[in-house]
A and B are shown apart, each in its own frame.
Chain A
Amino acid sequence: MMILADILSATVLFAVPLLLVALGGMFSERSGVINIALEGIMIVGALMSCLALSFMDQSGFGPANPQWAMLLAILVAGAAGMVYSLLLAFASIHLKADQTIGGTALNMLAPAFAVVLTWSIQGQGNTTIFIPTWTRITAQAAGAADTGSFLVRLVFKSLYLTTPIALVLLLLSALILYRTRLGLRLRSCGEHPQAAGSVGINVYRMRYIGVVFSGFLGGIGGLAFTVAAGSGFQSTVAGYGFLALAVMIFGNWKPLNIFLASLLFAFFKILGSYSGSLPFLPQFKGVASSEYIYLMLPYVVTMIVLILSSKKSRAPKAEGIPYDKGRR
């Protein structure tokens, strides 16, 4: 039973970055801008927030008020992502550049910038920024009475402030997208910007908002990935930005579907690392390094689901096309 709790809590831990970043991608694409740069945005968010965390660790503020410090780090991550995403917004909205060009440049820039900055702050060769241990929310800190129970294990095995915040952001995202005037306008700009423009909606502004939202969520996602990965920030998010893009398409550009897609993907990802301790899973005795079969699993499952559900898949119609007022 305890192993089930471990698996589920690890699933949630890894689903959180995918969820946040895919939601970010959703806002950007729903407004009409393809955001290939999510990977870079994640790295910048993770870089800045990890620097903030280690600064707060050294200054003593962090250990004294761990969750306030974490909240601050989350805000730093979001803000950094927003600023970075403005570079994409400027190139693809104002300059009407090909959106993959700007995105690719930003993806390349972020990890290189992170390495250079980490070197110059921590000294040559020290490429890892360690995450202070006080960031985790423990059962004791939360005041749970029975630390041995299934539920406590499930919730507190690997709980960080990013998880509850991600759930709040998921709800907010769905509300904004479907229940506010802003959301309606944003969606209209991704479907038919000229029609939106003709009724007085500022398409440029809506697209800026979409991209900046994605920067905010992507930056926080970067921090969430780094706490989940557990080994500190090493100037990479291991392709999670691209995976999140896949999760977003898989989730059909809808918040709830993205939530489920990220859980499914994370579950199959985690299953692999527990394959040794789950007796009912096939062990592939005759095969050397069979762990690779399990590592492949989430990608294969995603592909199968995508092919099966492809009939229903519908991308925002105007995504990727720079807005031109004169076109019809």
Chain B
Amino acid sequence: MKKPRRLFKGTESLLASLASILAGLLFGFVLLLIFNPAKAGDGFLNILLTGVRSTARLGKVFYTAAPLVMTGLAVGFAFKTGLFNIGATGQFTVGGTLALFGAIAWQLPWYLCLLLAILGGAVWGSIPGLCKALFNVNEVITSIMFNWIALFTVNLAINNTTVMLASSWGDVSRERTASLAKANLDAILPKLGLDKLMRYNGMNIAIFIAVLVALVMWFVLQRTTFGYELKAVGANRHASRYAGISDGRSIIQSMIIAGALAGLGGGLYYLSGTVQFTLGKELVAMGFNGIPVALLGASHPIGIIFSALFISYIQVGGDAMQPEFAREMIDIIIASIIYLSAFSLLMRELIRRAKLKRGMAQEEATVKGADGAGEGGATA
């Protein structure tokens, strides 16, 4: 009796997500029709198919998905533990920059640079955690403040380390960091020949690292006492304290891990060798994109892998839509999918309630009332 119901719950939440994706895409198609009816069909096919039209495009999907998985995990992990980590951008930036410092200024190999990225993100993530645990300052506000502080600190640090700038390595630009191809080949993530295989220069092992980390996160959350404690604090801080869990410590630990995840994302992104950090006064979008990734993946580590791949996939499609349509059309589609997932939550709830009622009626009929009530209490 128990097993099939569990299974139902899982597939049904997947179905709900798929339904909102479908509805969101449909909405996107309608928008394309409104803005340019003649090109709408081609544009929509571009969104759907570009990612698999060539191995290079598929490589790009993996390439963008890797940091998205990480920032998605950074947001999702914090969500699971009851915190809204809107600071993934700052953690991503600090982690990525520290990795670049390791690569360019200190000439370290890629794995040490990734460790630096994790460290940088963890330190930056720990600040909102500490502020919340010690001073009871809302983590949302601290994260927002430290996003900007991260951006300006990083700009300051790079500008004051001449060797970091592209201009020190034979390029003209003083606005970006040195290209790793010129500064330190050992710091570029191994490609294992995948770049040749897929004919895409940015393809490397980043996506495998990201998936591995997601699996580890799933294990930590689902199968360890530590993960259980973090989730318990997230579900009810006061009840957990009553049960003997140190809520302050859990909050700090959770934010350190979330920060480390985002920081690693920054490392994976900037050590690909195909991007350079551009100095400027705008926050990096990659960190904010972790929020929709986490929401679409229902904060579940495995779900986040797929939602990052999906979002990256339609973004690659969006690039191919230009210039007939603005690529921002993709953001509209993603936003409407997430908005619609709010509806799907409701749908799921209704179905679950109906199921529960029917189940309880059945069980009462077969005089198994106690079991049914217990189940109802656990899932409510």
Binding site for B on A (CB under 8 A): 87, 91-92, 95-98, 100-102, 104-106, 108-109, 111-113, 115-116, 119-120, 124, 238-239, 242-243, 245-246, 249-250, 287-290, 292-293, 295-296, 299-300, 302-303, 306-307, 310-311, 313, 315
Contact = CB atoms under 8 A, between A and B. Distances in A.
Given A119-B326, A289-B159, A306-B137, 7 more contacts: A105-B335, A109-B339, A112-B331, A250-B141, A299-B146, A303-B146, A307-B137
Taking residues whose C-beta sits less than 8 angstroms from the other chain, chain B's interface range is: 35 or more
Q: Is the interface of A mostly helix, strand, loop or mixed?
A: helix
A303 B86 contact: no
Contact of B142 (A108, A120, A238, A303): A303
Contact of A292 (B31, B137, B159, B342): B159
A101 B137 contact: no
B329 A307 contact: no
A119 to B, nearest CB: 5
A104 B339 CA distance: 8
Contacts of B225: none
A210 B328 CA distance: 30
B153 interface: yes
Contacts of A295: 148, 152, 281
B160 interface: yes
26 contacts: A91-B339, A95-B342, A96-B346, A100-B84, A101-B341, A102-B342, A105-B336, A108-B334, A109-B335, A113-B328, A115-B326, A116-B35, A239-B283, A287-B156, A292-B152, A293-B152, A296-B149, A296-B152, A296-B153, A300-B149, A303-B131, A306-B131, A306-B137, A310-B136, A313-B137, A315-B138
Contacts of A293: 152, 156
A287 B339 contact: no
B166 interface: no
Contacts of A242: 86, 144
Highest count of chain B CB atoms <10 Å: which of A91, A92, A250, A311: A91
B135 A307 contact: yes
B49 interface: no
B188 to A, nearest CB: 27
A87 B331 contact: no
B149 A307 contact: no
B295 A101 contact: yes
Nearest to B329: A116
A112 B155 CA distance: 27
A313 B152 contact: no
Nearest to B291: A104
B131 A111 contact: no
Contact of A246 (B144, B155, B160, B330): B144
Contacts of B159: 288-289, 292
Nearest to B294: A104
B137 A299 contact: no
Contacts of B137: 306-307, 310, 313
Contact of B332 (A102, A109, A120, A311): A109
Interface in B359-379: none
Contacts of B141: 245-246, 249-250, 306
Given A101-B338, A108-B292, A296 B148 contact: yes
B341 A287 contact: no
A44 to B, nearest CB: 13
Contacts of A299: 145-146, 148-149
Interface in B123-178: 131, 135-138, 140-142, 144-146, 148-149, 152-153, 155-156, 159-160
A125 to B, nearest CB: 9
B346 A97 contact: yes
A106 B332 CA distance: 9
B84 A288 contact: no
B343 interface: yes
Given A124-B323, A292-B152, A310-B137, A91 B342 contact: yes
